[in-house]
Structure formats: C-alpha cells, structure tokens
Amino acid sequence: PYRIAVFASGSGSNFQALLDSAQSGRLGAQIALLVSDKPQAKAVERARAAGVPVFVFAPKDYESREAYEREILGELQQAKIDLIVLAGYMRLITDVLVEPYAGRMINIHPSLLPSFPGKDAAGQAVEHGVRLSGATVHFVDGGMDTGPIIAQRAVEVTADDTAIELQLRIQEQERLLYPEVVSWFAAGRVKLEGRRVLLF
Ligand code: GAR
C-alpha cells in the first residue's frame, strides 16, 4: 500500500480526519508513522489510540534543525514512506528533508495562499478585513508556506468574525480537503514538474 507519514505539533484534528479516512478505505493509503516535536500533543495521543507508530523528539535535545531532521529522515526511510503530510507541524523544514522528498511532501495552511503565510493566518485575515479566506494544500519547499499550490477551498469571513471562529470554520474545510488531496497522491494523480502542479 501507499504509505504516508503525518507530522503534527498540535491538536491533530487534520490527523484525525486522515485516520478516519484511512480506516474507511477512502484514503487509499496507510498512515504508517506520526512524527511530532511535542510529546504532549493531542495528535500523539490520537496516534497511540489508533495504533499508529509514533516518533517524538524534543528539538532542544539537538544542536540544530538539521540534526533532528537527519534522525527523522532515518525513521522515514525505515518506514518506507511515500508521502510526508504536514498537518499543523509548526516548524520550518530544511533541505535535509526537502531534497529527498521533493514532490513528495505537502502541507496544509489556513489561508488562501499566497495571502497570510506564517503563524495565526486566521487572525491575519480578520485583521486585514478580507471577505474570503480558506485553506490551501501545497508542496513544501524551503520557504514559509511558499511551495506550489495543489488545492484550495474558500471560506467566507463575516463582519463580526473572531480569529478563533474563522479558524474553526477553516478547519472544518481542511478536514474535508486534506484527505481528498492525499487520496489523489495515493492514486498517482498528482505530479510536480518544476514548480508546475499537474493533476490527472
Ligand atoms: C491547521 O489549521 C493547519 O492549517 C495549521 O495549523 C492547524 C493545525 O490544526 N497550520 C499552519 O498554520 C501551518 N502554517 P490541527 O492540529 O487540529 O490539525
């Protein structure tokens, strides 16, 4: 089967949606590993409950980003991972992982990129006063939310929205969008040519 690793730092609601979709057979992929930089993350608890192997690490135990990523790379290779799926993994990725997984690493971000990259995207959208925001799934390159875009879903922003309310409505869409996009990968329907995304 097609094997994915999910990276998560937080609550893991996207991870849970992927787990549910794998369980129902719709994902067409096996979640073979959860990687987390936060031992206390709810995502880790969800993985253990679902019997998914977990690799957790504490960044402060390493002298650099590259040092812990080399260790992650070893885990990914051992688990024969086909696709890395970042789901609320709140760290930049270096060439240690970007290069070996070029065209095989994706992220989800709670805005319509290229608007509002980085932290607190929903807060940035409310602050700016946009009428539409949403969720974006994109390939990962070395930048902050800058890689080629695969799919997007729009969410309306109301006049009285708070960042938290908007974030929750965006996450509802993320939970639908991300499993669908992963299923496209598992079916061999996505290719990256340079910075062009081809969908079949
Ligand atoms: C998601 O909304 C995801 O788009 C966002 O973190 C949240 C994680 O939620 N990611 C980023 O902001 C990355 N720049 P989850 O842990 O419940 O899946």
Integer Cα distance of 108 and 86 in angstroms = 7
What confidence score (pLDDT) does residue 73 get? 98
What average pLDDT does the structure give for the chain? 97
Mean pLDDT calculated for residue range 117-132: 98
What confidence score (pLDDT) does residue 185 get? 98
Write the ipTM.
0.98
Mean pLDDT calculated for residue range 106-114: 98
C-alpha of residue 108 to centroid of ligand 1, in Å: 7
What confidence score (pLDDT) does residue 33 get? 98
**Confidence class for position 118, pLDDT limits 50, 70, 90:** very high
Integer Cα distance of 142 and 35 in angstroms = 19
* Residue 107 Cα: closest atom of ligand 1: 13
Instruction: Give me the residue spans of the domains in the chain.
Output: 1-199
Task: Look up the CATH architecture of domain 1-199.
Answer: 3-Layer(aba) Sandwich (3.40)
Nearest CA to ligand 1 atom 17: 13
* Residue 135 Cα: closest atom of ligand 1: 4
Integer Cα distance of 189 and 187 in angstroms = 6
What confidence score (pLDDT) does residue 22 get? 98
Q: What is the pLDDT of residues 33-70, one digit of tens each?
A: 999 999 999 999 999 999 999 999 999 999 999 999 99
CB within 6 Å of ligand 1 — which residues?
8, 10-14, 87-88, 108-110, 121, 145, 171, 174
Mean pLDDT calculated for residue range 155-182: 98
Is 93 annotated as contributing to ligand binding? yes
